[in-house]
Structure 1
Amino acid sequence: MKEKKSFRVALLLSYLVLVAAGKGARTIQQWENTSQIPTYQQFKKTIMMEDGDIYDCIDVNLQPAFNHPLLKDHTIQMEPTSFPIGLNIKSSFPHVVSQAHLSIIECPRGMVPILRNGRRDQISAHFIDQAINKDAQLEEAGMKYFDDLYGVQATINVYEPKVKKDSGDLSQTGIQIDNGPKGHMDSINACYSVSPSFYGDTFARFHVGWRDGVQNKSCIDHDCPGFVQVSHNVGLGGRVKPVSVYNGPQYVIHILIFKDPKTHNWWLAYGKDKTPVGYWPSSLFTSLKDKGNFSYTGGRASGPTASSDSPQIGSGHFASEGYGKAAFIKDIQIIDNNNKLVTPNEEKAISGSSDLRKYTIGNYGVDDHGVHMYYGGPGNFV
């Protein structure tokens, strides 16, 4: 019970949308009330996607990240100085899977796409105020890892788990890296999530998030300053598609988070080609400035009713159903102090579920290509 409680505390740090009734949550509420459709004086192009998302293309040097006081004199790093060693190792996964894609926005080079907040503007300020001030509940199924680390990579099977529309809950799967004392941990993460209460739809969307443990503030995408985007065509907050079909075609996303050994910034790269999306400047952090000491890779359900009336995680089916039916994560590797991708030490890895009646882990294993597992379940959807 004590172990479960401490794990939930760690998971709380990556609660990206509701942010669990703290200062970070009120930051999101303030954005809703004061900037319903944010505009930028320097944007040169506006793009509407087929699903209704609207992106503004703005100068890379004028993006929201640089409104952060710690980044006032920051010089943008347009690409990593180097990548981790060992990225060319091919997986031994026996099944053929296709790559899902993030939202691609045709912004000119030298600009970055910023999603307008119109999706969340559909939700009344009253509802948001109610949702963010409730005690957050958390459920999970995945792998936590305790050791000094300088990055994590994983290949993640993408589904659109069912989440009740007006619950305020979300279901997400991704990578999280933390460091710091309890209650003041620095944290970074990247994931896909489904959150109908906040986006007005049931689509899988790609997000990045971070937490400043000293200020006790959390942020998602570009909703507050911090994450520096360099990609001119990846739309944060946009749809991931296509998604996997139960007993049908399977799609994955490849996520790599790693620390630049020279600049010490934390980079996010996406896809088989490890295309840089952007980075969290090391100056944002205190405990995470040099390295992480905890990572989590897996799925979780978060929100006001995530335990009492739980959403699905993954495909919504138990791990025992296997390939094509249960969601999987494979090729989980960490980056060591030599900037090398290595297989996690089994003695420092713990896999499991917060509630085996709702979610399970199966076919968990370790090989030369990293950790692999099936995970997820129906929650209270039966």
Structure 2
Amino acid sequence: MAPTYNATKKDQTTTWTRTRSKTKTSKMGEESSLSVISQIWQKSGRCPKGTVPVRRIRKKDMLKAHSIEEYGRKKPSLSHHQIGHLNQKLDSFVQQKNHSKAILITMGYRYLGAKGDMKVCNPSVEKDDEYSTSQISLINGAYDDFECVESGWAVNPSVYGDRQTRLFVYWTADGSKKTGCFDLTCPGFVQTSNEISLGAAISPISLPGGLPYQITIYLYKDPYTDNWWVQYGEKKNIGYWPPELFRAMWSNAESVEWGGEVYSSTVGHTPHTATQMGCGGFPDVFHESGSMTRMRIHDNSEFLKIPEWVDDFSDEYNCYDVMYLGDYVEDPEFYYGGPGKNPMCP
């Protein structure tokens, strides 16, 4: 199965972006990021047409979950959904229990898609039941019962059994209380691509002092079938979430988020987790932190647009910070991440 229309849209880049964040001057690094679409498993061969690659799930990984039903699902928590509009105080964000986010968010339209280039790194994850992700998320619904679809890369030992950087998709229809999961660990996402494997390790990745590598993720709604599709790179459609999974998301999303997330039972406590976000460094423009570039939204128009109103936000600025560059640059850039535990975040 394939989308019923061409998802490649014109990119309207003449829109000025407004933000309530302080203006910061960018001194860009000289090296541009290199796009990555390869995965390590592809070195051993490819899947024939009519089949899809599926990552083997090991019994010992499933036994790490509290129950088989909970395997591959995030721990239930509140949403980062903002009550009101972006001109309200940042206190109106509700922090998720045991979750720490550093994000760029836009609201105020009926969103039918979102896109971005994200730098691929391998942050350190301290414990096996913790994870660090970088993703694009489309969200709708009440703050305590939200629906979302998201995709990006993750270091998640409890799901994947190691600490490699892996491509993932995730969904929920009730704030992860009883529905949703990573990849194909539960019914929901329908994979159609025989070239890209969900949960497979990404290669190459960005290393300190080395070349920066990035992946391109595009989440979009098919207007004829209402399926939510995931596109990897610029042309590879991986698969879709059918609209029957959702109540509100079958129509549109109410907000879009770009950025990172860390899960740990010691988030917000002392001692804090040492699990890193992004590339492990605080935000900068010299390739030592996580970054999102070429961020776009898809509303009812025929163009992919730079979001007009955005806000950057972090749950724990001393642990994981954010930096948005929207003025005096050709295309807005978002930097995020941090080391977790450090002298300012004991």
Quick check: 1:83 aligned with 2:7? yes
1:310-343 deviations in Å (ceiling 9; x for gaps) = 31101111113x2222221101110011242011
Q: 1:373 aligns with which of 327, 334, 345?
A: 334
Correspondence for 2:190: 228
Per the TM alignment, residue 247 of structure 1 is displaced from its structure 2 partner at its CA by 2.0
Structure with the bigger RCO (C-alpha within 8 Å, sep 6+) is: 2
Q: 1:261 aligns with which of 204, 223, 227?
A: 223
Instruction: Answer yes or no: is the 8 Å Cα contact 1:102–1:206 preserved in 2.
Output: no
Structure 1 unaligned blocks of 5 or more: 1-76
Quick check: 1:289 aligned with 2:250? yes
Correspondence for 1:209: 170
Q: Which secondary structure state, in structure 2, belongs to the residue aligned with residue 283 of structure 1?
A: helix
Q: 2:50 aligns with which of 104, 110, 117?
A: 110
Correspondence for 2:283: 319
Superposition map of 1:33-44 within 5 A: none
Q: What is the root-mean-square deviation in Å for CA atoms of aligned residues?
A: 2.8
Superposition map of 1:271-290 within 5 A: 271=233, 273-290=234-251
Structure 1 residues 89 and 111: alpha-carbon distance in aligned structure 2, compared to 1, 3 A threshold: farther
Correspondence for 2:91: none
Compare the two structures and name the one with the higher helix fraction: 1
Per the TM alignment, residue 97 of structure 1 is displaced from its structure 2 partner at its CA by 1.7
In 1, Cα distance between the equivalents of 2:211 and 2:338? 19
In 2, Cα distance between the equivalents of 1:95 and 1:274? 25
Instruction: Answer yes or no: is the 8 Å Cα contact 1:205–1:237 preserved in 2.
Output: yes
Per the TM alignment, residue 187 of structure 1 is displaced from its structure 2 partner at its CA by 0.9
Structure 1 residues 171 and 366: alpha-carbon distance in aligned structure 2, compared to 1, 3 A threshold: farther
What TM-score do you get using the length of structure 1 for normalisation? 0.71
Structure 1 residues 263 and 277: alpha-carbon distance in aligned structure 2, compared to 1, 3 A threshold: same
Structure 1 residues 381 and 368: alpha-carbon distance in aligned structure 2, compared to 1, 3 A threshold: closer
1:7-34 deviations in Å (ceiling 9; x for gaps) = xxxxxxxxxxxxxxxxxxxxxxxxxxxx
Correspondence for 1:39: none
Correspondence for 1:157: 119
The farther-off stretch of 225-234 and 92-101 is 92-101
Q: Which secondary structure state, in structure 2, belongs to the residue aligned with residue 264 of structure 1?
A: coil
Instruction: Answer yes or no: is the 8 Å Cα contact 2:13–2:305 preserved in 1.
Output: no
Instruction: Answer yes or no: is the 8 Å Cα contact 2:283–2:322 preserved in 1.
Output: yes
Give the length in aligned residue pairs.
297
1:243-288 deviations in Å (ceiling 9; x for gaps) = 10112111000000111122221111111x3211111112221100
Q: 2:180 aligns with which of 218, 222, 226?
A: 218
Q: Which secondary structure state, in structure 1, belongs to the residue aligned with residue 66 of structure 2?
A: helix
Structure 1 residues 93 and 367: alpha-carbon distance in aligned structure 2, compared to 1, 3 A threshold: farther
Correspondence for 1:99: 35
In 1, Cα distance between the equivalents of 2:123 and 2:139? 26
1:95-141 deviations in Å (ceiling 9; x for gaps) = 322122353461110111111102xx33473x432998898501111
Per the TM alignment, residue 229 of structure 1 is displaced from its structure 2 partner at its CA by 1.1
Q: Which secondary structure state, in structure 1, belongs to the residue aligned with residue 254 of structure 2?
A: strand
Q: Which secondary structure state, in structure 2, belongs to the residue aligned with residue 153 of structure 1?
A: strand
One-letter amino acid of the counterpart of residue 106, structure 1: R
Correspondence for 1:19: none
Structure 1 residues 249 and 187: alpha-carbon distance in aligned structure 2, compared to 1, 3 A threshold: same
Correspondence for 1:246: 208
In 2, Cα distance between the equivalents of 1:83 and 1:113? 23
Identity %: 27
What TM-score do you get using the length of structure 2 for normalisation? 0.78
Structure 1 residues 80 and 156: alpha-carbon distance in aligned structure 2, compared to 1, 3 A threshold: farther
Instruction: Answer yes or no: is the 8 Å Cα contact 2:11–2:305 preserved in 1.
Output: no
Quick check: 1:184 aligned with 2:142? no
Per the TM alignment, residue 377 of structure 1 is displaced from its structure 2 partner at its CA by 0.7
Correspondence for 2:65: 128
1:153-182 deviations in Å (ceiling 9; x for gaps) = 00000111011133x110000111111223
Instruction: Answer yes or no: is the 8 Å Cα contact 1:151–1:335 preserved in 2.
Output: yes
Quick check: 1:334 aligned with 2:284? no
Correspondence for 1:68: none
In 1, Cα distance between the equivalents of 2:61 and 2:50? 33
Instruction: Answer yes or no: is the 8 Å Cα contact 1:134–1:304 preserved in 2.
Output: no
Instruction: Answer yes or no: is the 8 Å Cα contact 2:169–2:183 preserved in 1.
Output: yes
Q: Which secondary structure state, in structure 2, belongs to the residue aligned with residue 208 of structure 1?
A: strand
Instruction: Answer yes or no: is the 8 Å Cα contact 2:136–2:152 preserved in 1.
Output: yes
Instruction: Answer yes or no: is the 8 Å Cα contact 2:111–2:253 preserved in 1.
Output: yes
In 1, Cα distance between the equivalents of 2:62 and 2:106? 39
Structure 2 unaligned blocks of 5 or more: 15-27, 78-96
The farther-off stretch of 256-265 and 195-204 is 195-204
